[in-house]
A and B are shown apart, each in its own frame.
Chain A
Amino acid sequence: MKYIVECKNVWKVYNPESSAEVKALRGINMKIKKGEFISIMGSSGSGKSTLLHCIGCLDTPTKGKIYIDGVDVSKLNDDELALVRRYKIGFVFQFFNLVPSLTALENVELPMVFAGIPKNERRKRAIQLLEIVGLGKRLYHHPNQLSGGEQQRVAIARALANDPELILADEPTGNLDSKSGAEVMKVFKTLNKKFGKTIVIVTHDPLVAKTTKRIVKIKDGKIIGGE
C-alpha cells in the first residue's frame, strides 16, 4: 500500500440544516504517501483542524471516504476507530495535552497501557523515546515542571509510543517561542528521516510550512494547492 492517507470528496458539516450550519470541509481530495513530511497550511478557520481530526479518526466526515493504510475508516465503529488511533496514529496538539498528574515517563507510557504492554517493556521503550526527543534527564518531571518546548517533545515521544506510521500534529509550534518551535520541528524532521514516519503538520505559519517537503494549502474547507 503506497498511500497512508487517502481522502475522497470529504465533507464535514457542523449543525447541518440549522441556522448555525458550518460547512467546515467541502469536498477534500488528498493523498499522502508513506514516509512523506507534509504540512497543511491555511488561515484560521479554514478547516485544518477539522480535516486533521477526520484523518486522525477522532471525528467522522459527514460525507466522503477516508482510507488509512487502505482501510475505509468512515465505516468503523467507536471501538474500531479507537484501535486505529491506538496503533496507526500518533497525535501532537497545540496545547501539548499531557496528563498533569502523571510524570513525563508515565505520560509516554500511557498509550502502551491501553495497548496492554507489560510494565517492564513499557518503561524501557518510554525511556528510549524520551531520549530520542532529548529529554532523557527529565523522566520524572511533571508537565508543570517542564518548559513548553519540553512538554511538546514529551507529547511527541508519547505519539510514538505504539510505533504508529502516521504522526498528526495540529499547530505544534503555535504555543512556543521561535527557538523551541524550531527544536520541535527538528525532532519531526529526524523522525521522518531516521525512522521513516509519515508526518502531517497543520499550521498557519509559512515559516513552519517551509520546513516540510510538501505544502497543501486549504481555504474555506477546500484544497487550493499542493494536492
Chain B
Amino acid sequence: MFEFELEALKITWNSISQRKLRSTLTVIGIAIGIAAIISLVSISEGLKQTITKQLQQFGANKIVVMPFASTSTTSSFASSYFTEDDVKKVEKVSGVELVVPFLLKTVSVEYKGEKELIMVAGIEPEKTKNLFENIQGYELESGSFLRKNDKTSVILGNAVAHDMFSEEVEVGDKIKIGDKTFRVKGILKRVGNRLDDNTIVVPMNPLREITGEQKEITMMMVEAKNAEEVEKVAERIRKKLEDYWKKGTFTVLTTRQLAERIKIITSAMTIFLGGIAAISLIVAGIGIANTMLMSVMEKTREIGIMKAIGATNKDVLKIFLIESILLSIIGGIVGCGIGILGSKSLNGVSMVQGGVPLRTSVPPSLIAFGLGFSAIVGIIFGLWPAYKAATLNPVEALRYE
C-alpha cells in the first residue's frame, strides 16, 4: 500500500531540494497566503470574542433604548433625543424594573489648572449605585456611589483619575466641570473599555445647568424584572414608543440582540479578511503552476524514460501532483508557523489605547483549514502541469534535449 506514492515522494523531494531557489520562492508565496489567513482570521475571531464577552458582563436583563435608527450614522446621534416624557412611558411598561436615563455630553473639565474635553454622563444620582452594581466588573476602586440629592459630587472613570491629568485625582479632590465645581466621591475600577474608563458620572440636574439642556435624554438603559422575559419587555417598549415615535427612528435592543449584531459584523469582517488572504493564495497558486510547468519541461526526457520503463499516464500524473502538493504543503506548514507567531504577537494588544486587550488564539481547526487549503491549492494548480506531463508522447519526450 502506497509503496509507489512513498517512493514518488522521495523522488520529488530530491527534485525539489535540487532546485532550492525556485522551490523556496514558490514555498514563500504559499506561506504568505496561509500566514495571512491564519493571523487575520484569528485576530478577527479574537475581536469577536472580546466584544461578546464584554456584552456578557453587561448582564442578560438589560435593554438599551436609543433615539435613532440602529442603521443610521452617528450624525443623527446628536440631532435626535428622548425626553423625560419618553422615560415615564418606558417606566410604565410592564416587566420593567428600572429605567436609567443618560445625558451624554462632552464638556471641558479642569483639574489643578489643566483643561481636558471629557465625556460626561448625567445620571439621576440615586441610580448610580443600582446601575453599576448590576453590571459585572463595574466596581468602585475607592470612595462611594452618589446618593439621592447629591448635587456636587461626581464619580470618575479609572482613566480619568489616573491617566488624564498630569497629577492623579483622588477621592475628595475638587474638579471643575463647565463652570461648576464638584467633589470627587468615587473612582471606578478599570473596566477595560475606553468609553467607560474615560467618562465622568455627574448628577443629571447640575449637568443640565452646565449645558443648558433642559429636557434632552441621550439614551435609556432599561433593566427587565426578569432575564427570561427581556425580549418580551423589549417588544413592549418598542410598541409603546411607536405610539409617539415613527417606526425606525429609534432602537430597542437587548444585550443578546446587540451581541448578535456585533457577531454578524465581526463575522463579515472575518470573511472579508480571509477572502483577501485567499486571493493572495490564488496568486501563490499561479506561482506553483509556473514552477511545475518549468519542472515538467526540464524533466521531459525523464518522463519519456519513466514511460519507456513502464510508468502509466496515471503514475506520471501522480508523481507531478505529489511534487506540487509537497511544495504547497511545505508552504502551508511554514505559513501556519508564521501565522501563529503573528497571532501570538497581537495577543494582549489593545486595538485602541486603553481598550480591552485582544485575546487571539489559533484553534487546531484553523490550522487544519490552513494546511488543507494549501494542499487544495497544490492540487488545483498542479493538475494542469501534471496532466501535461502525463500525456506526453514517450518517443517525443525521449528525443527532447
Contacts and interface: CB of A to CB of B under 8 A. Distances in A.
Interface of A: 53, 56, 58-59, 78-79, 82-83, 85-87, 90-91, 93, 97-99, 101-102, 110-111, 113-119, 158-159, 161-162
Contacts of A90: 309
Contacts of A117: 3
B310 A97 contact: no
B309 A58 contact: no
Given A101-B14, A101-B15, A102-B11, A114 B309 contact: yes
B189 to A, nearest CB: 68
A99 B3 contact: no
A161 B309 CA distance: 9
B313 to A, nearest CB: 6
Contacts of A53: 395
Given A99-B305, A116-B4, A118-B3, A86 B314 contact: no
Given A91-B308, A102-B11, A113-B7, A79 B313 contact: yes
B311 interface: yes
A117 B307 CA distance: 17
Contacts of A161: 309
Nearest to B15: A101
B312 A82 contact: yes
A82 B310 contact: yes
B225 interface: no
Chain B contact residues: over half helix, strand or loop, or mixed?
helix
Contact of A87 (B301, B305, B310): B310
A114 B311 contact: yes
Given A101-B14, A118-B3, 4 more contacts: A101-B11, A111-B309, A113-B4, A161-B309
A85 B307 contact: yes
Contacts of B314: 79
B216 interface: no
Interface string B17-33: 01000000000000000
B310 A99 contact: no
Given A59-B395, A118-B3, A78 B312 contact: yes
B311 A82 contact: yes
Interface string B173-202: 000000000000000000000000000000
B394 interface: yes
B118 interface: no
Contacts of A162: 310
Contacts of A58: 307-308, 394-395, 398
A116 to B, nearest CB: 6
B306 interface: yes
A119 B3 CA distance: 8
A82 B307 contact: yes
Contacts of B4: 113-114, 116
Specify which of B301, B302, B394 lies most central, judged by the most chain A CB atoms within 10 Å of its CB.
B394
